[in-house]
Structure 1
């Protein structure tokens, strides 16, 4: 497996391809680059052609100027997909990656077969008091970064969304962040997090998309606002919010369970089809 670069307007995207089968792109959240989805990708490559990448500004992906909106990230992803397939692809995104996946589905609907959007920070669907609290949470992480640097800011963010590093599969090893991860976190907190705070998703365009949209939320994160965003987005779209194992960051901490659940949701497992058929309301068929 070899990393490649794709030139897009204003940036170059480092990406990797592994496996065979239908194309599935994994979009990391937070300051995650392609390495954040590596363990998950390895567990999916026997069923899918898995595409992973660094967002512009992170790790091996460069940008001509700092900063990008979720719409710019979605357009980048659209061009990356177009370079690898002419067919609609499956997309899994978590947190900011889920928001990018939703933007992709709204802006480039013909490129998406199924989108699994895990706990997207779509704060606009929250009732006003909850939305104000979520925006304060995001701003507090930015303020912690400005005052004390990346490590306190990331600890603050983990507290706010319920990331528990101890809730992980035995084979998952936690690594101390190196210089590249610290640089990625600084980019996130300087550019991406403020953009998320002001972003508004075109819900009408999303509802009109022919793609199958699957909002998803962690079974262990019900107390936190990203879980609530997923549930309320599903309600707005008239579809079900699918439970996923673990919490907000389970694609990193519980990749084996996430891969199996993702395979079920993408339609590869008869168990999920029975689950959908037998549950009141089911999942909206697109």
Structure 2
């Protein structure tokens, strides 16, 4: 594994930690959940053979600190952070962007708001549940997660969220590090530390975000929507497949499930390489 160049970037209300590897056109990788830049350790070196690969911890996660730790989080502000990184690392040149889960929501928003800065977006299972016909049901899920977190704490709220995302409503919150490759398991402590922020700030702010569908239709030739081979029926997969059908675009399948990036890094990275070039 190559040691990346590490930097910090001051943005509105936060200081971002970012890492850069490789040479070539810029590829910005936006993590989902509580992964941070480290979630891309399994694929970044391979991608750096063809791209300048930039990874970062989103505001409030891991090493990217907030001025106000209690601040509400919004997709537009996270997208502006990503644009600030593009301006620093690739000024004036459109970049390729990959996002996973909540990071994919940010990537899609970037495409619709400043398409001149984005050459291609690959979005893996963005939980854009507002596009679904039963969106009201999922808004109610977000409200239950938030109330459970407030009244019962983190793990009960995680269980409510996991059940709502699953195929049959019967999932429970996973144990950190269970069944993961060693490098991913080693990140479990940091992941657990970020979970309260994710459940309390990211889930409410992101899962109620509605994309600009008319703009996406006009820009669909630059958008690749991808799902996990093993996540059919789960809520993020449903939302992504519905969006692909709505836009009339082909849905790509990547190995593993919603966290295939973590469980199948080599095969996932190979699929991403292909999606960036096709």
TM-score calculated relative to the size of structure 1: 0.83
SS in structure 1 at match of 2:249: coil
Any residues of structure 2 matched to 1:231-246 within 5 Å, and which?
231-246=241-256
Cα distance between partner residues in 1 of 2:83 and 2:187 = 32
SS in structure 2 at match of 1:82: helix
Structure 1 residues 203-212 or 255-264, which shifts more?
203-212
Structure 1 residues 154-163 or 1-10, which shifts more?
154-163
Cα distance between partner residues in 2 of 1:17 and 1:168 = 29
* Other-structure match for 1:72: 77
Cα distance between partner residues in 1 of 2:6 and 2:187 = 23
* Other-structure match for 1:146: 150
**Residues 134 and 225 in structure 1, CA contact (< 8 A), matched pair in contact too:** no
Structure 2, unaligned stretches of length 5 or more?
Answer: none
SS in structure 1 at match of 2:5: coil
Q: 1:252 and 1:158, CA in 2 relative to 1: closer, same or farther beyond 3 A?
A: farther
Matched, 1:177 2:188: yes
Deviation (angstroms), 1:172: 5.3
Deviation (angstroms), 1:253: 1.5
* Other-structure match for 1:93: 99
Q: 2:48 aligns with which of 45, 55, 58?
A: 45
Any residues of structure 2 matched to 1:124-163 within 5 Å, and which?
124-128=130-134, 131-162=135-166
Matched, 1:55 2:58: yes
**Partner deviation per Cα, 1:186-227 (whole Å, 9 max, x = no partner):** 111111111124322112222233861011111111111111
Deviation (angstroms), 1:169: 7.5
SS in structure 2 at match of 1:83: helix
**How many residues matched?**
265
TM-score calculated relative to the size of structure 2: 0.85
Q: 1:122 aligns with which of 128, 138, 151?
A: 128
Structure 1, unaligned stretches of length 5 or more?
Answer: 268-272, 274-286
Cα distance between partner residues in 2 of 1:176 and 1:98 = 21
Deviation (angstroms), 1:144: 4.0
Deviation (angstroms), 1:170: 5.8
Q: 1:205 aligns with which of 204, 211, 215?
A: 215
Q: 1:253 and 1:137, CA in 2 relative to 1: closer, same or farther beyond 3 A?
A: farther
Any residues of structure 2 matched to 1:266-285 within 5 Å, and which?
266-267=276-277
**Residues 129 and 208 in structure 2, CA contact (< 8 A), matched pair in contact too:** no
**Residues 10 and 16 in structure 2, CA contact (< 8 A), matched pair in contact too:** yes
Q: 1:168 and 1:183, CA in 2 relative to 1: closer, same or farther beyond 3 A?
A: closer
